[in-house]
Structure 1
Amino acid sequence: MLRLTLVVVGLLAATASAEMYKWVDKDGKQHFGDAVPVEYQQQAVPVKQAAQPTREQQAEAASAASRTKALAEEYDYRHQTQQAELREKRKAAEQAATEKKKRKQTNDKSCEARLKRYHESAECFNQYRNANGSLKAAAYEKCKDVEAPEDCL
Structure 2
Amino acid sequence: MSQSINLVKYEAANDGKLYETKTDLIETAFVTSSLLEELKGQFSLTEKNIFEALGSEDHYSIDCFNDSDVEAAIRKLEDIFLSILKSEGKNLCDERGGTASENLPSKLSAHISSQDIGDSISRFRTLTNLIHVFKLKHNQFRTDNSVVLKVG
- TM-score, structure 1 normalization: 0.26
| Greater strand content | 2
| Greater helix content | 1
